[in-house]
Structure 1
Amino acid sequence: MRTRTRSQERILTILKILNQAISAQDLYIELRSREQSMGLATVYRALEALKLEGMVQVRTLPNGEALYSLVKEDRHHLTCVQCGNSIPIDQCPVHDLEEQLHESYRFKIYYHMLEFFGLCTQCQTENE
């Protein structure tokens, strides 16, 4: 395992404190508000390195925004393509598949995501 930079350690600390997914831009603002300022490019580089190390996961929303969080558990969502509301779901039908893929391909899996896209009940009502 490689040694983490000070920037990476700061980002990991903030992600632990926040305990939720956050965009790189919002993370940059959060660091500045805590007087731990670093450049936005540094934030992106540190997040990328942490992602490659398997410490941070990224979830891309339908609008293209990337949200970063610590790898704790697999995330699954129902996401509305109209309003962007995202509802977490607890069941995971792919854990067995993950094990099979690991065994068959010797692929080191850090995490997986399962996301369904459609219309939430509020947007369905508005569209009628």
Structure 2
Amino acid sequence: MKAQRTRSQERILQLLKNVKRAISAQDLYIKLRKSNQNMGLATVYRSLEALKLQGEIQVRTLPNGESVYSSIHQDQHHLTCVNCGNSIPIAECPVHDLEHQLEQSHHFKVYYHTLEFFGVCDRCQLAQDA
């Protein structure tokens, strides 16, 4: 049985679906305030945590430690530069079959997975070589 969502959770989930990209809790809070949806920052964080635990949204931690949130459209995978922090989404998913195998063998319901490679992007490589 799915957990009953609060109005705050519904508003946040709808905004994440409309934004169609990962966004920080602070940026989410600012967008809500600008659209006259008064909600405290603590409520934003509580709602994001509840939605994450329900498997409704996914969280990604950037190299600088900041968490960004997005609705679960599909698996998200990235190449992330440790120098400039730029993240390049990649479409390939080499672990999709593994996810299904793990669900079967461990009787574990996977909500989503992320795959992230860390390195140095082409622009930073050029700057280092200069």
* Offset at residue 2 of structure 1 (A): 1.4
Counterpart of 1:12?
13
Counterpart of 2:127?
126
TM-score, structure 1 normalization: 0.98
User: For 1:10 and 1:95, how far apart are their aligned partners in 2?
Assistant: 30
Structural mapping, 1:38-117, within 5 Å = 38-117=39-118
Which consecutive unaligned segments of at least 5 residues does structure 2 have? none
User: For 1:42 and 1:113, how far apart are their aligned partners in 2?
Assistant: 26
TM-score, structure 2 normalization: 0.97
Which consecutive unaligned segments of at least 5 residues does structure 1 have? none
Counterpart of 2:30?
29
User: For 1:16 and 1:93, how far apart are their aligned partners in 2?
Assistant: 25
* Offset at residue 18 of structure 1 (A): 1.0
Seq. identity, %:
67
User: For 2:101 and 2:83, how far apart are their aligned partners in 1?
Assistant: 35
C-alpha distance after superposition, 1:78-112 (max 9, x if no partner): 00000011111111110110011000101100010
Quote the RMSD (CA, aligned, Å): 0.6
**Other structure's SS at 1:108 match:** coil
C-alpha distance after superposition, 1:18-42 (max 9, x if no partner): 1111000000000000000111010
Number of residue pairs the alignment of both structures matches? 128
